[in-house]
Amino acid sequence: MIDLLAARGSIEILLFMNTRDEPISILEINTFFQSEGSQLKLTSATIYRRVKELQLAGFIEKNKANKVFLTKYGKEKLKDIQGKEIRLKRSRRKILNVIQEQEGISVYELQQRGFSPTTVKQSIEDLEDLNLIKQYIEEALQILPKKAGRPKKRHQLTKKGLKVLKKQEELEEELKK
């Protein structure tokens, strides 16, 4: 159940549905997450898959008009989620720590530190979606012939990311006591 809600877009879809009083079509959800107003961009396939998963988990239901709405259980779970702090997976937390230590790091450098490429890619996407890190472009100091003039993309913590990281460290220390 927790993995379902950790999936990219699940919580956002539930939050969007919660803003509506009446059932909405998947097309409306699709339109919203592909519009300029949405910070999180989701593909049609991802939205359809998340809606199906949420439906199977009992968070939402479909009516006869093929529109979806939050169930009572879905509304309760959403309240629980909104009340909790952001909990990060261990790999995400480690990556946040490394980014903080280095005061900016590239994806390649994270992979050199032993993180798998898929973990790095997914973690970076998730952390950016949560606005915990941001990407910036650093001009290459030494221009290599192969990559002539290609700037390096690096990631650094945002203020929110720093707060969440400190909160995580405090929680871990409390658990150790």
Residue 68's domain is classified under what CATH number?
1.10.10.10
Are 29 and 16 spatial neighbours (Cβ–Cβ below 8 Å)?
A: yes
The DSSP result for 1-58, as a single string, is: -HHHHHSTTHHHHHHHHHT-SS-B-HHHHHHHHTSTT-SS---HHHHHHHHHHHHHTT
CA-CA distance, 152 to 57, in Å (whole number)?
42
Two structure tokens written together for 21: 């009083």
Kindly state the greatest CA–CA separation across the chain.
Answer: 63
Same domain, 66 and 96: no
Same domain, 172 and 94: yes
Same domain, 32 and 95: no
Same domain, 136 and 172: yes
Domain boundary among 28, 50, 83: 83
Same domain, 164 and 101: yes
Tens of each residue's pLDDT in the chain, 177 residues:
445 666 777 878 888 888 888 899 999 988 888 887 677 788 888 889 989 989 988 999 999 888 999 999 888 887 777 665 556 667 777 887 787 777 778 888 888 888 888 888 877 777 777 667 777 655 544 444 444 455 567 777 777 777 878 887 887 777 776
- Domain that residue 142 falls in: 90-176
- Considering its fold, how many domains does the chain have in total? 2
